[in-house]
Amino acid sequence: MFSPLYRSTKLRSAMSIPGRTRNALLCLSVPLAIVLTVVGGVAARAATGPIAILGVASETRTLLPHLTHRKNVVVLHVPYVTGVLNGVPVVVARSGVGKVNAAMTATILIGHFHPACIIFSGSAGALNPNLQPGDVVIGAKTAEHDFGTLYSTGMSHEPTDGIAERKQNPMYFPANPRLLKAAELAASRMHEEPIDVGSGPHTPRVVVGTIVTGDVFVADQNTNDALRKYFHADAVEMEGAAVAQVCWEQNVPFLAIRSISDNANRQTPTMFDKFYKLAARNSARLVMAIVQIYSTKPASY
């Protein structure tokens, strides 16, 4: 069984970044059929389409057998699968590895399918030393750790520039509040058996925390420590914040779910090979539960 859900005490807002103050406007949650979220002063379009689920590879393969009325759809050379997941219309896609692939997949998906929301499911390396393989991080916020200015003295991390409004994006992209609430409820209902992580049995836990994204596969303890210290992050991966940025710009509710496959240090290659499928399975199971809850009326949860 998952141990009790707990929130990371290290969650910080963008205002905690030294020398920078960023006003990150949270998306307001309203009924699914009339999503009128205000972001940056612009009302979001109504989104009544399917719930979209993105994953790198194994995460989507885990979900597909559960879909009924499956249909393969190729849009601008990118394959998508539409169907019904436990009574809920969904569109599922493999994003591929890295920020460009993920952003392209999400952008085409939004333009063609007009999803009600996007959930990214995948594996990640642990930055929080208390996390073990199989644990799951619900991303309360995401950030790009490799965007900024590189000086001889080190990296100056900066927020990205927006396109739609020509305004600077927040340093941290916040999860949609309604999706986040659905994820917390789904996590509280999940059950999982203890697994052997090498140091003895471990019962997977769920954490609400911060996820950082970059176009590098982190397998170095010094980098791990630096990302943990600067961003107060719990997990690192290669796609989430890119999709979060697209969703922020297009006013689409977004949430990242990441299951830990490794410790983002020199042991990562071995650990990743051993625990990746487990991490993908745990992440996908939580996503399926979130879809079920999110598709109901907000007042019911």
> How many residues can be counted in the chain?
301
- Nearest CA among 224, 39, 249 for reference residue 145: 224
| 262 is annotated as an active-site residue | yes
Residue 45 CB neighbours (<10 A): 13
- Annotated active-site residue in 135, 234, 262, 273: 262
d(CA 36, CA 47): 9
Q: At what angle do helices 268-294 and 177-189 cross, to 10 degrees?
A: 110
3-state secondary structure 48-72: CCCEEEEECCHHHHHHHHHEEEEEE
Q: DSSP characters for 266-279?
A: TTHHHHHHHHHHHH
Q: In 59-98, which positions are buried (b, 16+ CB within 10 angstroms) versus exposed (e)?
A: bbebbeeebeeeeeeeeeebebbbbebeebbbbbbbbbbb
Query: Contact, 86 vs 294, CB < 8 A?
Result: no
d(CA 253, CA 233): 21
d(CA 127, CA 60): 24
**Residues in CB range of 226: below 8 A, 6 or more apart:** none
- Annotated active-site residue in 59, 144, 184, 192: 59
Written as six digits, the tokens of 98 are 């890295």
**Hey, is 26 helix, strand or coil?**
coil
What residues are annotated to the active site? 59, 262
